[in-house]
Amino acid sequence: MKIFIIGYGKMGKMIEQFAKKQNHEVIAIVDEGQFWPKFSEDQKPDVAIEFTQPNAVEDNIKQCIDWNIPVVVGTTGWDSRRDDLRSYCLQKNGSVVFGSNFSIGVNIWFLILKTAAENIAKNNDYSVKMTEIHHIAKKDKPSGTAITAANILLKDIKQYNGWSLSEEPDKILIDAVRKEDVAGVHSVLFKSALDEIEITHRAGNREGFAKGALAAAEWIIGKKGFFEFADIFKMVFENNK
């Protein structure tokens, strides 16, 4: 697989490292403020992997679509532009996989939360609170993973009509904490007068994110559409057994 890395921060470097370990070829890397290379047809990448910033992601996705390069998008914080980018992708017959988190463990955590929410919804005695902890360099707050989790919970738990970073009676509280050198912790607490249920995912490092992003890159080649990783991750990892 010939890979074009867009964004050369911690995740971009991790993607490069893992790609080479898996005998993929990284043919180009661009970081913020740099011009994209002009690819000839025989040098064109099979796929791009994008981990940048929310203010850059829209242009990066559109350019990949315009150049007919499938792209895996790990940048978060662009939910408000998702519908417009989906329309652009489908209109141009592009190939996009995006995700708030490419870790297989987090996506299993999402499935566990869905099952919990379906059952908690039958018992209004439980309140819901979420905590997410990340490294201080993470700019978006709350994390995209926390927002994805909140939306999963809100589909079934109707006593809440949204999420908030501050306490509101009709919102799921997301306590977003930033600390030195934390890869990522996400925890949901269901609390009643009788008991508490806490469901937590802790990332040991960023390697799981890189592994998932590369698996998504292998999967998207040859496909057309606008896919959310949480919806397809079972197929992605089945394909990579």
Long-range interactions of 32-40: CB distance < 8 A, separation 24+: 32/7, 32/56, 36/63, 39/4, 39/67
Q: Which of 24, 138, 186, 201 is catalytic?
A: 138
- Give the residue range(s) of CATH 3.40.50.720 domains in the chain: 2-102+206-239
CA dist., res. 28 & res. 6, Å (int): 8
- Which one-letter DSSP state was computed for residue 206? S
- Give the residue range(s) of CATH 3.30.360.10 domains in the chain: 104-202
201 in active site: no
CATH code for the part of the protein at 2-102+206-239: 3.40.50.720
Q: Which of 21, 38, 114, 134 is catalytic?
A: 134
Fold annotation for 104-202: Dihydrodipicolinate Reductase; domain 2 (3.30.360)
pLDDT in tens, the chain (241 residues): 999 999 999 899 999 999 999 999 999 999 988 999 999 888 899 999 999 999 999 999 999 999 999 999 999 889 899 999 999 999 999 999 999 899 989 999 999 999 999 999 988 789 999 999 999 888 788 998 999 999 999 999 999 999 999 999 999 999 999 998 888 899 999 999 999 999 999 988 788 889 999 999 999 999 999 999 988 988 887 766 5
Amino acid 206: pLDDT:
80
Amino acid 7: pLDDT:
97
- Rg of the chain in Å (alpha carbons): 19
The residue behind tokens 């802790």 is 202
- Which one-letter DSSP state was computed for residue 71? E
Enclosing H/E stretch for 218: helix 207-220
Amino acid 168: pLDDT:
96
62 in active site: no
